Amino acid sequence: MSPQPRWTKSTLIFGGAALWGAVLVGCVMVNRTMLAPPAIPGAALVGNKQCAECHEEQTARASSATHAKVALAQDPKLGPTSCEACHGPGSLHVKAGGSKGTIINPQKNSETCFSCHLDKRGTFMLSNSHQVLNGKMSCGDCHDPHEGNALKGSGASIENEIETCTKCHTAQKGPFVFVHNAMKEGCTACHNPHGSVNAKMLLARDANLCLRCHLQTTSTNGTIFAGGEDHRTRLQGGTCWIAGCHETIHGSYSSKPLRY
């Protein structure tokens, strides 16, 4: 039996998880103190310059990243330490010449992200959510933290958000003959991809979802209009997207008012 610890992937992930939350390390970004970054037993910080020697691709894009501003240490010899904020201290990984199991890969374990974004764990626990907590999906399916605002694709544009979602949700991709112009605002105009108490991760479960953009007006005789039509009796039937109403809410191949 060897007394040497062996760094397997699971000892790292679980060993690290047990330490998170137990240790409070000063981790500062623009005057904001956060919970501890992930820990790797026996490893020390080495700084971004070391990572850059072997991981040019991630490093080259990182200057624009929000997370590039996260600092774990103020030691001027190390320089920036933002890579290790998510991947854990890198000395063992570097010493091993970069073998797997010596560094954390958040694609396999979203706990890394929760160590700073604790609120997101609660959102993903809501009854309607993507399956991140059970490991079937990961934050990395929608986020690329190595660049910009971390939404996948480059930059911060809504096109990138839509592309991220429709890579998996091809039915919502179109191109439709009659597209609902709400789609120009992105999927998050109606859904919270982190989770919601409402079915289909909707931001609201009733007509209020639609009325945020489609003003409801009341004329002198009390008629309720939405989209220029009299919806007085229709709205009593329930939500706007029930069968027989606006069923093709993302876009339609045959109905301009998005009904079938």
- What's the number of CA atoms in the CB half-sphere (13 Å) around residue 40? 26
* Residue nearer to ligand HEC on the CB measure, 41 or 98: 98
Inter-residue contact 123 to 193 (CB < 8 Å): no
* Residue nearer to ligand HEC on the CB measure, 5 or 206: 206
Inter-residue contact 177 to 190 (CB < 8 Å): no
Site for ligand HEC in 115-134 (CB under 6 A): 115-117, 120, 124, 130-132
Number of residues that bind ligand HEC (CB under 6 A): 96
Q: Min. distance of Cβ 223 from ligand HEC in angstroms?
A: 18
Which positions ≥6 away from 90 have C-beta within 8 Å? 43, 45, 46, 50, 51, 83, 84, 103
Which positions ≥6 away from 14 have C-beta within 8 Å? none
Residue 190 zone, left/alpha/beta (φ > 0; ψ -120 to 50; rest): alpha
Q: What is the C-alpha separation between 62 and 202, in angstroms, rounded? A: 33
Kindly tell me which residue out of 73, 191, 231, 251 binds ligand HEC, with binding defined by CB under 6 A.
191
Site for ligand HEC in 144-183 (CB under 6 A): 144-146, 149-151, 161-162, 164-169, 172, 180-183
Kindly tell me which residue out of 3, 97, 222, 244 binds ligand HEC, with binding defined by CB under 6 A.
97
Site stretch for ligand HEC (CB under 6 A), options 16-24, 98-106, 215-223, 230-238: 98-106
Binding track, positions 195-224, relative to ligand HEC; x by CB under 6 A: -----xxx------xx-xxx----------
Kindly tell me which residue out of 20, 71, 113, 195 binds ligand HEC, with binding defined by CB under 6 A.
113
Which positions ≥6 away from 86 have C-beta within 8 Å? 37, 38, 67, 104, 106, 112, 113, 145
* Residue nearer to ligand HEC on the CB measure, 73 or 182: 182
Binding track, positions 36-75, relative to ligand HEC; x by CB under 6 A: -x--------x-x-xx-xxx--xx--x---xx--x-----
Rounded to a whole number of angstroms, the CA Rg of the chain reads 24
Site for ligand HEC in 219-248 (CB under 6 A): 227, 240-241, 246
